[in-house]
């Protein structure tokens, strides 16, 4: 599958001496629901979307009525993330 190949290639990229991590997520197994994403407002984006020069990242918030519990340690490693 092309998407998996791209994820493998992007995971081998080094940006400013920092490794990158890319992972293909099958849309059928994703936690994101397309219809729900289309209804999000600017406040939701302020809390959940982080952007930089190199990427746009959608992250979970600490409000369990909004997002499921995180599966990674991102809350531990990014202290500027809204909790």
| Claim to verify: residue 39 and residue 64 sit in the same structural domain | yes
Rg (CA), the chain: 14
Within 13 Å and on the Cβ side, how many CA atoms surround 68? 5
pLDDT digits (tens, 9 = 90+) for 50-66: 888 888 888 888 889 98
Instruction: Report the 10 Å Cβ neighbour count for 78.
Output: 11
| Claim to verify: residue 45 and residue 25 sit in the same structural domain | no
Question: Of 54, 55, 50, which is closest to residue 78 (Cα–Cα)?
Answer: 50
Domain extent for 40: 34-83
| Claim to verify: residue 23 and residue 38 sit in the same structural domain | no
| Claim to verify: residue 23 and residue 43 sit in the same structural domain | no
pLDDT digits (tens, 9 = 90+) for 6-35: 899 989 999 888 899 998 888 888 887 777
Concatenated DSSP letters of 49-71: EEE-SS-EEE---S-TTTSPPPS
Please count the structural domains in the chain: 2
| Claim to verify: residue 18 and residue 39 sit in the same structural domain | no
| Claim to verify: residue 21 and residue 44 sit in the same structural domain | no
| Claim to verify: residue 70 and residue 82 sit in the same structural domain | yes
- Is this model's pTM higher than 0.75 or not? no
């Amino acid at each position: 599958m092309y998407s998996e190949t791209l994820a493998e290639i992007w995971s081998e990229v080094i940006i400013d001496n920092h490794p990158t991590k890319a992972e293909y997520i099958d849309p059928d197994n994703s936690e994101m629901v397309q219809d729900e994403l289309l209804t999000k407002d600017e406040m939701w984006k302020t809390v959940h979307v982080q952007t930089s020069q190199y990427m746009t990242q959608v992250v979970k918030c600490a409000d369990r009525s909004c997002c499921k519990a995180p599966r990674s340690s991102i809350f531990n490693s990014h202290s500027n993330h809204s909790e």
